[in-house]
Amino acid sequence: MTSPARKPLFERLKQGLEEGIAHSKGELTLNTIEVPDDPPEIDAESLAALRKQTAMSQRVFARLLSVSCKTLQSWEQGVRKPSDASLRLIQVFSEHPEIVCQSVGLPVVTLNGVTIQATKQGRRKIVVRQSRPKSRKSAAAQ
């Protein structure tokens, strides 16, 4: 099977310039697509808090993210940072845990106090609001 012959460079450049001129005159509409932002960052404490809020063990949460338990442990200890692909999955999980859980066959979980906030550096970060433990006095009164 042979591939079709490629046009010479000059012809391709000429065609590109002609299309650019036609576009600038309003004679041609070009398709444009917005490039998505990078996935938001997450620090070790927030990642551990996110997992704990779901009541998942490290092993289960690691399987949910398709990484090894050792990898998840190194993220939660701050030794390593998740890859962009893992950060994107963590973002989807933090925004729509029900979809991710259903996709992998786990019971649906609900997350509370999880937000994505802008940082001073112009990036975004997943923030997990820590729930305060009840004091012994207030727990005993109930």
Q: Over the stretch 11-57, which tens digit does the pLDDT of each residue have?
A: 999 999 999 999 999 998 878 888 889 999 999 999 999 999 999 99
Neighbours of 134 (CB within 10 A): 11
Check residue 32 and give its pLDDT. 80
Neighbours of 19 (CB within 10 A): 13
For residue 55, give every residue at least 6 positions away whose Cβ sits within 8 Å of its Cβ, in sequence order, or none.
109
Check residue 84 and give its pLDDT. 97
Dist CA 86 CA 141 (whole Å): 43
Domain ranges of the chain: 44-128
Yes or no: say if 82 and 25 are a contact pair by the CB < 8 Å rule. Answer: no
Q: How far is CA 66 from the centre of its chain?
A: 14
Determine the topology of domain 44-128 in CATH: 434 Repressor (Amino-terminal Domain) (1.10.260)
